[in-house]
Structure 1
Amino acid sequence: MLSIPPGLDPDLLRSFVLIAEGGSFTRAAQAVGRTQSAVSMQIRRLEEILGQPLLLRGTRGVEPTQHGLWLLERARRLLALHDEIHSTFRQPSIAGAVRLGSPDDYALRWLPGILARFAASHPAVQVEVTCAPSNELVERLGGGELDLTLISEGNEPAGARVRWLWHGPLIWVGMEEPARRRPLPLALASAGCSWRTAAISALDAADLPWRMAYTAASLSGSLAVALAGLAVTVAMPAPLPEGLRVLGAAEGLPPLPDFGIGLLRGPAMPVAEALARHIEECFQLETGFETRMRA
């Protein structure tokens, strides 16, 4: 007689992914609206079903085991498919066009997955994407040229209600040799960029001499300069091109402040609201960060 293995509850997998990515049972419990003990029981149940330990407490918090790493990659895909099926059948049919803005810094890191999943669940919606610096996107949103936009913290208009999607540290990125030069050669965006302001403020506070070697319009341009060994730049934590690494105190560089990624919306309209909810859900699923509103 054929033995049918027990099914995998998506709620168990979702809690596992949030813990594995965020390194914390507490943050995962907050994200799914459960107590920490309930989430711990979910993980024990998942480990019982699969017969292998999936998470271990390490020096950097909770980390996935080798079996956990294998599961993490596949659980992300399974949850994305689950959410796509659920939203397709449960959400009302929405059609039309929506205009989304995003800084280039986030385009490759976040937009492919967000847009692909949104297109699958809302096939009748056309998304027009504009990539530009945050300050320019804020102006376009205010002028009615965009319906919603991602922005970097420090560019939000006074009194604006922003949905914060992620908050974490900025990092120095480059190669060791240029990082030890003085004055420090920098590759950053043009004036007005919050990352540029944060980097220069940190260097000035540490009394570290610097020079602006290159000005790039996007993060990809700054990374290209850093990859050539000509300067160091600033980025958010994310996979780096081969040849670049995170720099810091070992190279004499000061710590950088935390920053946030926010979502600004224009006048309410169903298609824009649907995309906004989708963006919030995608960020929460991938980062474990509990999105919050702040004026």
Structure 2
Amino acid sequence: MIYFDPYLLRAFLTVAEIGTVNGTAAALGRTQAAVSMQIRKLEGLVGTRLFERSSKGLTITADGQLLTAYAREILSLNEEIGKRLQNSQIEGRVRLGVVEDFAATRLIHILKAFRDQNPKVDIDIIVEPNKRLAAMFENQKLDVVVCDVSQVNRKPMLVWGEELLWVVRSDIAVSAGTSLPIIMFEESCPWRTAAMAALADRDIQWKIVCEASTLVAMVTAVRVGIGIGPMICDTIPEDCRILDRAAGLPVPVRIDVGLYAQSAASAEADYLARFIARYSRRGLA
């Protein structure tokens, strides 16, 4: 049986996030030699290389990626068990930034479960567009953020792969070969580029008839019947339908949304981030 020392796992996860031994040593308050030794010891325990070394730093291997999810789970459960046995509760305040599409859907059940178990943690929920959330996170104005991975220059704790589906009001007919009326995200949204590329790839005739700055705006425009809009499955209204994938109609758009926490996050912020990641992996999202 392999014993996974929490200190080794913490060093491993920090290196995986930061990408260098120097940065990890600074973040954990240890020497570079100590961090390197911990990584080598962990690799010896599992019998495989967890990082590829180069002059630019460390790149996580496929086996390292596999260990990452388990390492987070082990550390999270280790902390949770200790707090429950000691009958202690986390206290404090967390600034959580969330893209609107997730705040209105999959995070509701997770945050409810967190709040039920941690009533002394106050959560400020900031809903902004992807680009704005990333900027606030970079400027230390958010502790935890959920936004498009293209906007944050670091490795996410967790990635949700999503599809933007093309949606129209149920009673509106859409025919291939005609110019499609498209409801599009505002120019600053990273999903706009991906959506327009999907339209271009199918050589479709289309024109933007409305720009939507928020999820509410997108839903309203689609339900009013202004045109066809790209939406995540969980946000599609009941009186709307997804376009089929027939020739001449746009295909779904792949997007990736990541979960991030500050490297020097408070105990309550770090715990919330790992709680979200753990519950997402358990399929509660």
Under a length normalisation based on structure 2, what TM-score does the superposition of the two structures give?
A: 0.64
Q: 1:272 aligns with which of 245, 252, 269?
A: 269
Judged with a 3 Å threshold, the aligned counterparts in structure 2 of structure 1 residues 239 and 193 are, in CA distance, closer, same or farther, namely closer
On the 8 A contact 1:165/1:283 being kept in 2, the answer is: no
- TM-superposed CA distance for 1:268, in Å, is 2.4
Helix, strand or coil for the counterpart of 2:282? helix
Aligned residue in 1 for 2:175: 180
Query: Within 1, Cα distance between the matches of 2:174 and 2:120?
Result: 49
- TM-superposed CA distance for 1:211, in Å, is 1.6
Structure 2 residue 133 is matched with structure 1 residue 137: yes
Aligned residue in 2 for 1:98: 94
On the 8 A contact 2:149/2:256 being kept in 1, the answer is: yes
Matched AA of 2:112: A
- TM-superposed CA distance for 1:237, in Å, is 2.3
On the 8 A contact 1:188/1:214 being kept in 2, the answer is: yes
On the 8 A contact 1:153/1:194 being kept in 2, the answer is: no
Query: Within 2, Cα distance between the matches of 1:258 and 1:112?
Result: 23
Judged with a 3 Å threshold, the aligned counterparts in structure 2 of structure 1 residues 172 and 90 are, in CA distance, closer, same or farther, namely farther
Judged with a 3 Å threshold, the aligned counterparts in structure 2 of structure 1 residues 174 and 86 are, in CA distance, closer, same or farther, namely farther
Aligned residue in 1 for 2:161: 167
On the 8 A contact 1:202/1:254 being kept in 2, the answer is: yes
Q: What is the 5 A alignment of 1:71-86?
A: none
Aligned length: 206
Aligned residue in 2 for 1:153: 149
Structure 2 residue 191 is matched with structure 1 residue 195: yes
Question: Could you give the per-residue CA deviations for residues 98-121 of structure 1, whole angstroms, max 9, x where no partner exists?
Answer: 000001111110232122111111
Q: 1:224 aligns with which of 217, 220, 227?
A: 220
Query: Within 2, Cα distance between the matches of 1:255 and 1:151?
Result: 23
Matched AA of 1:146: L
Query: Within 1, Cα distance between the matches of 2:247 and 2:89?
Result: 54
Q: Which runs of 4+ in 1 moved over 4 A?
A: 85-88
Question: Could you give the per-residue CA deviations for residues 178-232 of structure 1, whole angstroms, max 9, x where no partner exists?
Answer: 6438432122221132322111111112221222211112222212111112111
Judged with a 3 Å threshold, the aligned counterparts in structure 2 of structure 1 residues 86 and 243 are, in CA distance, closer, same or farther, namely farther
On the 8 A contact 2:143/2:269 being kept in 1, the answer is: yes
Helix, strand or coil for the counterpart of 2:225? coil
Task: Please give the root-mean-square deviation of Cα atoms over the aligned residues, in Å.
Answer: 2.8
Moved more, 191-200 or 123-132: 191-200
Helix, strand or coil for the counterpart of 2:111? helix
- TM-superposed CA distance for 1:163, in Å, is 1.9
Under a length normalisation based on structure 1, what TM-score does the superposition of the two structures give?
A: 0.62
Name structure 1 gaps, 5 residues minimum: 1-29, 34-84, 289-295
- TM-superposed CA distance for 1:87, in Å, is 9.2
Helix, strand or coil for the counterpart of 1:250? coil
Q: 1:235 aligns with which of 231, 245, 251?
A: 231
Question: Could you give the per-residue CA deviations for residues 120-170 of structure 1, whole angstroms, max 9, x where no partner exists?
Answer: 11111110010001110000011111101001232222xx12123321332
Moved more, 273-282 or 237-246: 237-246
Query: Within 2, Cα distance between the matches of 1:216 and 1:183?
Result: 19
On the 8 A contact 2:202/2:248 being kept in 1, the answer is: no
- TM-superposed CA distance for 1:86, in Å, is 7.3
Judged with a 3 Å threshold, the aligned counterparts in structure 2 of structure 1 residues 203 and 87 are, in CA distance, closer, same or farther, namely farther
Query: Within 2, Cα distance between the matches of 1:140 and 1:273?
Result: 17
Matched AA of 1:89: R
Matched AA of 2:207: R
Q: What is the 5 A alignment of 1:204-219?
A: 204-219=200-215
Aligned residue in 1 for 2:108: 112
Name structure 2 gaps, 5 residues minimum: 1-66, 71-79
On the 8 A contact 1:178/1:229 being kept in 2, the answer is: no
